[in-house]
Amino acid sequence: MRGLSSSDVKSKKSLIYPIAIAGIVGLSLLSGKDNLSTDGLCPILPIKAPVSFLKDNSTVLSILHDKEFREKSAEKLAKAVQVDTVVFDSPPEPDENPEYWTKFLKFHQYLRDTFPTVHSTLKLDKVNTYGLVFTWEGTNPDLKPIMLTAHQDVVPVQQDSLGKWTHPPFEGYYDGEYLFGRGSCDCKNVLTAIMESLELLIAQDFKPERTVIAAFGMDEESGGLVGARHIGEFLEERYGVDGIYAIIDEGFPFSLEPQSGVFMATPLVSEKGMATIKSQLQTPGGHSSMPPDHTSIGMISELVYLLENNPFEPLLTSKNPTLNMLQCVATHFGDKLPPSYREAILKADYDTKSNQIVVDALQKDVATRYFIRTSQAVDIIKGGEKANALPEAVTLTVNHRIALESSIKEIVDRFMKYAKIVAVKYNLGLNLEGTPVIDSEGKFGILDVTLDGSKLEPVEPSPSDDTVWEYLAGVSRHLMHDLIKPDLEYDFVVTPMVMQANTDTARYHHLTKSIFRYSPSLGQMINFHSIDERLEFDAHLHLIAFFFEYLQTIDTPDAENQKL
């Protein structure tokens, strides 16, 4: 998963930050009434379990409770972590630099050794050499295939942080409760859970009606252009546009909402967009004893100042699943919220004052504000080589995660507005993607602005009012109520949510309208992309159990999609 830093999310245990803000003090009552209708808001969908669960549930129970299974599963994930599959930014195509990718051969051998029956039963296609597509052909060609996906690659470990790890990052240490290591949360856990569930189904002589696809890219952490993009093209050629039933990729687990104290599931049904804007300012060099009033570093710093002091405005609309999630809580657990805040949430999609109350609440915490606002992060600035030499070139890189209601064009236009202010003030030429905006002839320097090639527009939310969603939610509720917490005293709610980062699904939008970034499980995923990345192992077993039950439950024409 790319785009969320460890400072943004140290733990994936509690995803639903917005409701925590409900406890803020000083919200005024809007009308003093609490009789707002919640008809039709956030329906509780029926539990769905496979027929096998009623006949013989011994396998799924052993996944969750058998000590021997737990130890073997931990060993499988540990061995996956032990294989270094680090990728860096802008990886080359395999035919351009074969040596860069040879480390993945060892990972593929690990998969063959660890999951032999998947390899002997499913068809394996290698896409762009190192991308893996396993296909378990179904007996009913009229049913669209289900696609489970994860990525093989992991982010690098900073060398100067090695001494801060409790256990070496590629050791795969398991202490009986947590499994440590790079990729334990992001996302070799998902990959091995998919493979383990397939092995278990094969062992039970399961013969799917619906084709099952397991697709694993190898450069998700750098944008998916080498892996997932090619996999998407490969699968489109085979199944056509919108030829897939649904895609489930890595995402967040079940959450304990801190204010109300209730568990919820939030499949991520859309992604914010992404745009990285790079600027290079070139000015005359010279000796530091005779500097101009403003060096290139000073000028580019003023651009940073303008950008950071003019943040994007928040916007909460019905287009954003955040509103749906908030209204789910207000509908089903409203007694745990201040009455005024509950009322504001329920009226936020049509009442301006109510909407502003909710927006203001969300903006109070960095963990919640970017659900409804474009973010900008000044990530890289480089310039200068020596203390007594004026910098001749300075580069600035700003990353944006684009709100669902916005666009790449809006981001670029705003950036250029402030770049033009700096250019005019300091007599600079200004180019956008090589095209002059302010002519550079006779100017002190030139500011070149370019857009990184891995840009992504915001993603329209997947439907949450159709059969595909009904089965996803129903099996999620089965996992929670029947298997993880059978003594839960309230209805487990499943509600859509927006993802602030991006995954390989950005390369699969043409394959299906139903894409869910979702790892249904209950447990902590701590410090992904950071020191001591580790997974509470119960969560891994829950994920295996989900895939095992889900693939069986949707294996019927009754699950084919239609609007509810």
142 is in an annotated binding site: no
Question: What's the token pair of residue 173?
Answer: 């240490």
Cβ atoms of residues 327 and 43 within 8 Å: no
For 1, 105, 185, the CA distances from 80, given in Å and listed in that order, are: 17, 13, 12
529 is in an annotated binding site: yes
* H or E segment and range at residue 270: strand 268-271
Q: Where would I find the beta strands (DSSP E) of 42-157?
A: 123-127, 131-136, 146-151
- Specify the pairing of strand 262-265 against strand 255-257: antiparallel
84 is catalytic: no
DSSP conformation class of 504: G
**Whether the bond into 42 is cis, omega within 30 of 0:** no
The candidate with the shortest Cα–Cα distance to 269, out of 110, 153, 141, 404, is 404
**Measured torsion, CA atoms of residues 338, 342, 348, 352, in degrees rounded to the nearest 10:** -40
Whole-number Å distance between alpha carbons of 76 and 184: 11
DSSP conformation class of 483: I
Q: Which residues contact 498 (CB under 8 A, 6 or more apart)?
A: 268, 269, 270, 271, 272, 320, 321, 322, 371, 404, 461
489 is catalytic: no
Cβ atoms of residues 269 and 436 within 8 Å: no
The candidate with the shortest Cα–Cα distance to 522, out of 266, 185, 255, is 255
DSSP conformation class of 18: G
Cβ atoms of residues 452 and 276 within 8 Å: yes
**Strand, coil or helix: 217:** strand
Whole-number Å distance between alpha carbons of 557 and 539: 30
Q: Which of 199, 220, 470, 533 is the catalytic position?
A: 220
Whole-number Å distance between alpha carbons of 233 and 544: 28
Sign of CA dihedral 216, 219, 225, 227: negative
Q: Where would I find the beta strands (DSSP E) of 45-171?
A: 123-127, 131-136, 146-151
The candidate with the shortest Cα–Cα distance to 150, out of 194, 92, 93, 119, is 194
68 is in an annotated binding site: no
Angle formed by the axes of helices 339-347 and 352-363, nearest 10°: 110
Cβ atoms of residues 507 and 229 within 8 Å: yes
Q: Which ranges of 426-536 does DSSP label H, i.e. alpha helix? A: 467-478
| Residues belonging to the active site | 153, 220
Please give the annotated binding residues, written as ranges: 151, 186, 221, 249, 529
Q: Give the residue ranges of the annotated binding site for Zn(2+).
A: 151, 186, 221, 249, 529
